[in-house]
Amino acid sequence: MDQNENLSGQGGEQENLQGEPVNQNNQSMEALLKNDAFSVELPQAGEIREGMIASISQGQILVSIGAKSEGIISGRELEVIDDEERESFEVGQEIPVFIVSPEDANGNVVLSYKRAQEQMAWSSVEEQMASDAVIESKVIGYNKGGLIVGVHGLRGFVPASQISALRRSQAVGETPEQRWARMIGEPISVRIIEVDKSRRRLICSERAAGSESRQSIKERVIDELEEGKVYTGRVTSLADFGAFVNINGADGLVHLSELSWERIQHPNEILEVGQEVKVKVINVDREKKRIGLSLRALSDDPWRSQIEKFSVGQLVEGVVTRLTKFGAFARLEGDVEGLIHISEISETRIEHPKEALKEGETVALRIIRIDPEQHRIGLSLRKVDSAAFADKDFKLLAQEIDRLDMAEAEETEEIAEEIVEETEEIAEEIPAEESNTEPEPAPSDEPPAEPEE
């Protein structure tokens, strides 16, 4: 007889090799587990699953994860859960759990709630770093190198170089505690710039996060700013070419030339980071999103008052201060400096000003140009005796003579007034009784008259 015929039967029954009937509904458990329809996905170490809290007791939490038995959170894994969070757990609540071990000595699946959170947090920060997301956080600590911030339950480090200039300007002191301690609890926006899960290294940047938020803020501020108006701002950084001042959340540039009417080499000569200053908006470029500011525009230009005594065509004396390829600089009265262009030094062609001038030499010069906006005075040596200015020279000379005559007359008048004042003072010092005594009669040669009888 064929073996298949021995195993076949009617009514859903089969016979084994010994001819005994076997029911399909009583197949072995091993056969059921091999059947995909009835297979159970066993937990694997390191896996994260979503489980449901089955029971909560003082020493453990049972969580159903769909395995052959419930998983257990106990011992150290239970202690690391915050008390406040443990008290918030309820039976039936779904929580993420990390499979520490698929089976312990007692056959239980060992779970960890805290590790699940941590693993999910690392995955989250990796995604946020890839998307350049800005994270709103708080300062939770510090060390000698910078600040510690909370990021999805992880500790992120913000190096001092990645802290915003404004916050750094407030970090005053020699020790980390003096610089950073008072910032604990302050809100901070950061962007993740480095993630190393194996080393548990999470580096954040406040500066990188600020670039995006500042851009949107700057657009709003630029729309509101008015040229010519004065605003109060705070110095955020200094550079060789100028200073950046934050106005209402947007940074504007005070160029080196707009810091002071006096010549300075670097902004740190008059400003420091964190300083509050008043600035005038002199330019707003809405297309390029640039704000031009000025400090010196808030005070009068001293140069203008210094050059009031000068006019084009006037003869002046100047001391040669510098010689350059294109000309010579000369200092006039009042420390005003002007330029003698090389073409204005000599009637004959010269290759360098040193052929006709030397530093420290005093020379007669003629003012040929005054530019108040650029603070420039053009001088000429070769036009000192120019006939074109003869009439002007004569008039200036006449004015000078009149001025001298007037000054001499005023001096003479002052001398006369001084003499009168001195005479009056002498007269006041003479005693009144002496001034009222009648003078004695002068002696006479005639004999005295005899008395009448």
| Higher per-residue confidence, 147 vs 433 | 147
Give residue 354's pLDDT.
93
Region 80-109: mean pLDDT is 85
Give residue 101's pLDDT.
87
Among 6-20, 130-144, 277-291, 395-409, the range scoring the smallest mean pLDDT is 6-20
CB atoms within 10 A of CB 14: 13
Is the sign of the CA dihedral 70, 76, 80, 83 positive or negative? Answer: positive
Of the three residues 67, 84, 115, the one that is the final residue of a domain is 115
The half-sphere exposure of 169 on its side-chain side, counting CA atoms within 13 A, is: 17
Is 352 inside a domain boundary?
A: yes
User: Could you tell me the CA-to-CA distances from 134 to 258, 381, 439 in Å, in that order?
Assistant: 35, 65, 112
| Higher per-residue confidence, 26 vs 321 | 321
Q: How many domains does the chain have?
A: 4
pTM score of the predicted model: 0.41
Give residue 5's pLDDT.
43
Per-residue pLDDT tens over the stretch 118-127:
889 898 899 8
Q: What CATH number does the domain containing 231 carry?
A: 2.40.50.140
Q: Which domain holds residue 325?
A: 303-391
pLDDT of residue 399 exceeding 70: no
Per-residue pLDDT tens over the stretch 226-280:
899 999 988 888 888 999 998 877 889 999 989 998 889 999 999 988 888 999 9
CB 273 within 8 Å of CB 234: no
Region 273-290: mean pLDDT is 89
- DSSP H helical segments within 66-180, as ranges? 76-79, 83-88, 113-130, 165-169, 176-180
Is 416 inside a domain boundary?
A: no
Is 372 inside a domain boundary?
A: yes
157 and 181 co-located in one domain: yes
Is the sign of the CA dihedral 57, 60, 66, 69 positive or negative? Answer: negative
Most confident listed range (1-15, 238-252, 338-352): 338-352
pLDDT of residue 294 exceeding 90: yes
351 and 373 co-located in one domain: yes
CB atoms within 10 A of CB 155: 12
Per-residue pLDDT tens over the stretch 52-86:
888 888 888 998 887 566 889 888 888 888 888 88
Is 15 inside a domain boundary?
A: no
pLDDT of residue 392 exceeding 50: yes
Give residue 307's pLDDT.
85
Of the three residues 299, 331, 359, the one that is the final residue of a domain is 299
Q: Say how far apart CA 413 and CA 292 lie, in whole Å.
A: 57
Is 414 inside a domain boundary?
A: no
pLDDT of residue 210 exceeding 90: no
CB 149 within 8 Å of CB 163: no
Return mean pLDDT, the chain: 80
Give residue 214's pLDDT.
58
> Phi/psi at 87 (nearest 5 deg)?
-70, -20
User: Could you tell me the CA-to-CA distances from 157 to 142, 241, 384, 385, 419 in Å, in that order?
Assistant: 8, 32, 71, 75, 86
Of the three residues 90, 115, 140, the one that is the final residue of a domain is 115
pLDDT of residue 24 exceeding 70: no
Is 197 inside a domain boundary?
A: yes
pLDDT of residue 49 exceeding 80: yes
User: Could you tell me the CA-to-CA distances from 58 to 55, 79, 93, 156 in Å, in that order?
Assistant: 10, 11, 17, 33
SS3 10: coil
205 and 245 co-located in one domain: no
Per-residue pLDDT tens over the stretch 137-164:
999 999 988 999 999 889 999 998 888 8
Give residue 442's pLDDT.
52
Region 168-188: mean pLDDT is 86
Q: Say how far apart CA 345 and CA 365 lie, in whole Å.
A: 10
Is 41 inside a domain boundary?
A: no
Closest listed residue to residue 381, CA positions, set 406, 417, 426, 348: 348
Q: Would you state the structure tokens that stand for residue 103, as one six-digit string?
A: 């089976």
CB 232 within 8 Å of CB 249: no
Q: Say how far apart CA 352 and CA 341 lie, in whole Å.
A: 11
Give residue 211's pLDDT.
60
| Higher per-residue confidence, 319 vs 426 | 319
Is 334 inside a domain boundary?
A: yes
Give residue 286's pLDDT.
85
| Higher per-residue confidence, 172 vs 329 | 329
